Amino acid sequence: MPVITLAETDVQGLCALLSRYGLQLVAVADGADIPGSHWGESEAGLIGNQLYARRDTPLHSILHEASHYICLTPARRAGLHTDAGGDDLEENGVCYLQILLTAQLPGFGRERLFADMDAWGYSFRLGSTQRWFEQDAEDARQWLIAHKLIDGDEQPSWRIRG
């Protein structure tokens, strides 16, 4: 099953979501290199508050990079170019947040994101994104709550890490 790409996404809704965090989606021409892409190919890129993507960029990659921006310390965010860095717990928080943000995009949903993340090769101890999220991600959830990025009901705070 192919993953959902930017071309198949409600771009206006995605831009509205990203703008709540001060992020701007920047369209990249088909076939061009994506500025700030850590992994290359069609993966989304970050430079400052600019999130770069092509029509073939997977939506899960866009949400992942957006979540990195949201979870960064202010000092790392100020110098952000390509590699968000961070430790394993922050990376788990990023993955957890990208899953929660799917609720803000009609027609995309958690189950589809789980499938897209698995198809793309995200690796979790329990063997699937859904099993990790439901059974092994309490540390990521608590990290997001501690940094006031979500509330106890798993709703986004619409804040970036301070």
Check whether 1 has a pLDDT greater than 70: no
Q: Which two tokens stand for residue 136?
A: 């092994």
Specify the DSSP class assigned to residue 107. Answer: T
* Amino acid sitting at position 152: G
Note the pLDDT tens digit of each residue in 58-88.
999 999 999 999 999 999 999 999 999 999 9
CA distance 72 to 80: 9
Note the pLDDT tens digit of each residue in 41-51.
999 999 999 99
